[in-house]
């Protein structure tokens, strides 16, 4: 199989989804209205509620949801062959991810920027909300722990990425000042920011920073994990315009440049896909493709974390409701393209099938490092870039996305801690809530593999993926209730909801047995809690959907707005 064919077919499917299917969803299902007053205008506070240019907001949203997951997930999942991963990424992006992300934005905007957790209370009930918050808290806990481990592993494996990764923070702060304080023209800021970022990549490739094996009595990986959580805790308390938005925006531009470079190298070198379409010779202990494929690849097909970002930060910055199509659906398109590029890199970036098989000799060991190495080989062959520089570009890209997701994840989990505290009659300050998030995240990152080293945190990945997909199903259930109440078409949401729900509950049961056999009691307890909460919320959601079908329909949003405008014009 020529990788060019795979790239062209995948890109055409995903872009066609944005041009055609997203338009149908925007006009017929969600009925996005340009005249609806978005929460960013209604509650402007300069901290969380900030009306934002849709291109800047797209950058924040896209890089917040992307992270390392659309790299790690596909890089692991191709062990079953390239075809299952390819189909799930392309079709998932079109019919699952884009629909979910745009819908979560719409649902939050129509409810004054409330989070998905809060919306569950209104549309499913108080019991459903409480259980929903438990699932969200555990998911965000795993997001932060997993991405901290992924970043630490890359900084250790690629010390050339250290300077650009931390230098990007300074660039982002300066970009935020240029946009919001100095009012610079956005295209000029974009060019300056991208040039500065790639200058840092060149500098980092020339001067790698490799820490000693132990730092302050900790392994290098453990040291980086602690530093990352301290940084994310501080960053999560800053106004979004100061660091989060500009960091995500410039990273979004860098990703598309990186993707452009990767796909250009693929088109020029046309490497052969050496991996099998369906791998019939799986390594021992590799789980079954069904249901594990559908939770191993979460981001890049559908991801519950996206709903958290859509309703937690992006909905509070959306300038117009109609921007949800570009920010939400096109954000999913960008992530799908990243996942597609990853699939091609880790199946065509090897000299032979034997070398690919050697890398994929053990389930879940190949991941982001495999992407960096194989993708770097393609850049070297296609564009003639030095191998070290190629690997530095891809490593920096992966780390920056994981770091922005971690920034957003810590901020969102702080919101959830404050919300849970409120339900318990406790009022947590921003500082206290942030400390709670950081302490719990560190505890999970160091305790997940039962060694306390912090270097085995990737054992969380299967459970993280399952919880992530489960949250997506729960988010879709809220959207279904909203659409049923409005008598809108709801099958485009309900059918993906049922598919994702079956696969995730099935995966939870499979993992329950595996964790018990391994004696990993921490993750076993988390699995049980997640499973019980999920089943309970699903029952509550089914009751709410049935109740909505039998109730009087809510007034259609567009009709209500038209009536308001008519009254205003007649006065």
Closest by CA position to 291, among listed 467, 504, 148: 504
Chain-wide mean pLDDT for the chain? 86
Per 3-state DSSP, the chain is made up of helix, strand and coil in percentages (nearest 5) of 75, 0, 25
Confirm whether pTM is higher than 0.95.
no
User: Hey, CA dihedral for 281, 353, 264, 254, is it positive or negative?
Assistant: positive
Delimit the domains of the chain by residue range: 3-271+290-563
Partners of residue 272 on adjacent β-strands: 2
d(C-alpha 507, C-alpha 504), whole Å: 5
Whether the CB-CB separation of 457 and 145 falls below 8 Å is answered with yes
Average pLDDT of the segment spanning 15-26: 96
Which residues neighbour 480 within 8 Å (Cβ) at sequence distance 6 or greater? Answer: 490, 493, 494, 497, 541, 545
3-state secondary structure of 442: helix
Residue 226 has pLDDT above 80, yes or no: yes
Q: Look up residue 199 and give its two tokens.
A: 């200058």
Give the pLDDT band of residue 565 (cuts 50, 70, 90): very low
What are 50-81's pLDDT values in tens digits?
898 898 888 778 877 776 788 888 999 999 99
- Give the DSSP H or E segment for 219: strand 218-219
Q: How confident is the model at residue 115 (pLDDT cuts 50, 70, 90)?
A: confident
124 has pLDDT over 80: yes
Side-chain half-sphere exposure of 37, counting CA atoms within 13 A: 8
pLDDT surpassing 60 at residue 274 = yes
Lowest mean pLDDT among 246-255, 526-535, 538-547: 246-255
Query: Among candidates 63, 124, 287, 17, which has minimal Cα distance to 116?
Result: 124
CATH of the domain spanning 3-271+290-563: 1.20.1740
First vs last Cα of the chain: how many Å apart? 68
Least confident of 159-163, 176-180, 263-267, 431-435: 176-180
Report yes or no: 386 and 276 within 8 Å, Cβ to Cβ: no
Checking if the pLDDT of 83 tops 90, the result is yes
Task: Judge whether 67 and 273 are in contact, CB under 8 Å.
Answer: no
Q: Which of 367, 380, 388 is nearest to 158 (CA)?
A: 388
Compute the distance between CA of residue 336 and CA of residue 299 in angstroms, rounded to an integer.
8
| Angstrom distance (rounded) from CA 489 to CA 188 | 43
> 558 pLDDT exceeds 70?
no
Distance CA 71, CA 431 (A): 33
| Token code pair at residue 67 | 């992270």
pLDDT top residue among 425 and 103: 103
As a whole number of angstroms, the distance between CA 392 and CA 488 comes to 48
Position 215 scores a pLDDT of: 85
Predicted pLDDT at 230: 92
Q: What pLDDT score does 454 carry? A: 55
Cβ proximity of 314 and 57 under 8 Å: yes
Answer whether 479's CB lies under 8 Å from 245's CB. no
CA dihedral of residues 385, 389, 395, 400 (deg, nearest 10): -100
Question: What is the phi/psi pair of residue 215, to 5°?
Answer: -130, 120
569 burial level (CB within 10 Å; 0-12, 13-18, 19+): exposed
Question: E strands along 30-174, which residues?
Answer: none
Residue 37 has pLDDT above 70, yes or no: yes
């Amino acid at each position: 199989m020529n990788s060019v064919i795979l790239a062209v077919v995948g890109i055409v499917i995903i872009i066609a989804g944005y041009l055609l299917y997203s338009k149908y969803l925007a006009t017929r299902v969600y009925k996005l209205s340009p005249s609806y007053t978005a929460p960013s205008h209604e509650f402007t506070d300069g901290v969380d509620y900030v009306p934002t240019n849709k291109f800047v907001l797209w950058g924040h949203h896209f890089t917040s949801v992307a992270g390392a997951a659309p790299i790690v997930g596909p890089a692991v999942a191709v062990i079953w062959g390239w075809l299952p991963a390819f189909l799930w990424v392309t079709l998932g992006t079109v019919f699952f991810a884009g629909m979910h992300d745009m819908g979560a934005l719409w649902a939050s905007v129509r409810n004054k920027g409330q989070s998905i957790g809060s919306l569950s209370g209104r549309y499913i009930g108080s019991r459903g909300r409480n259980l929903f918050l438990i699932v969200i808290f555990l998911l965000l806990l795993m997001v932060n722990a997993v991405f901290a481990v992924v970043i630490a592993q890359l900084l250790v494996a690629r010390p050339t990425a250290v300077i650009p990764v931390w230098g990007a923070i300074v660039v982002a702060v300066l970009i935020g000042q240029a946009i919001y304080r100095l009012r610079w023209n956005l295209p000029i800021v974009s060019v300056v920011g991208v040039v500065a970022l790639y200058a840092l990549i060149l500098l980092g490739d020339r001067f790698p920073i490799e820490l000693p094996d132990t730092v302050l009595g900790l392994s290098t990986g453990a040291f980086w994990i602690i530093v990352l959580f301290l940084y994310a805790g501080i960053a999560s308390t800053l106004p979004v315009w100061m660091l989060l938005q500009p960091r995500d925006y410039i990273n979004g531009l860098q990703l598309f440049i990186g993707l452009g470079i990767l796909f250009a190298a693929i088109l020029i070198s046309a490497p052969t896909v050496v991996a099998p379409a369906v791998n019939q010779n799986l390594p021992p202990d590799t789980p079954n493709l069904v249901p594990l494929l559908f939770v191993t690849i979460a981001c890049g097909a559908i991801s519950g974390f996206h709903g958290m970002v859509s309703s937690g930060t992006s909905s509070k910055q959306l300038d117009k409701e109609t921007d949800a199509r570009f920010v939400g659906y096109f954000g999913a398109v960008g992530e799908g393209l990243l996942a597609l590029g990853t699939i091609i890199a880790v199946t065509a970036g090897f000299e032979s099938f034997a070398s690919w098989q050697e890398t994929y000799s053990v389930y879940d060991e190949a991941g982001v490092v495999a992407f960096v190495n194989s993708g770097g080989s393609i850049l070297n062959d296609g564009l003639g870039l030095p191998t070290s520089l190629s690997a530095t570009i891809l490593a920096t890209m992966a780390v920056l996305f994981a770091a922005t997701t971690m920034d957003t994840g810590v901020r969102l989990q702080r919101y959830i801690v404050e919300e849970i505290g409120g339900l318990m009659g406790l009022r947590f300050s921003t500082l206290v809530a942030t400390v709670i998030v950081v302490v719990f995240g560190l505890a999970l990152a160091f305790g997940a593999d039962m060694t306390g080293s912090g270097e085995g945190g990737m054992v969380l990945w299967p459970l993280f993926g399952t919880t992530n997909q489960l949250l997506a199903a729960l988010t879709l259930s809220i959207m279904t209730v909203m659409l049923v109440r409005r008598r809108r078409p709801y099958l485009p949401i309900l059918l993906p909801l049922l598919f994702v729900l079956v696969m995730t509950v099935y995966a939870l049961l499979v993992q329950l047995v595996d964790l018990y056999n391994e004696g990993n009691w921490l993750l076993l307890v988390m699995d049980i809690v997640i499973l019980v909460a999920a089943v309970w919320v699903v029952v509550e959601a089914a009751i709410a959907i049935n109740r909505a079908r039998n109730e009087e329909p809510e007034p259609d949003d567009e009709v209500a707005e038209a009536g308001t405008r008519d009254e205003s014009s007649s006065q």
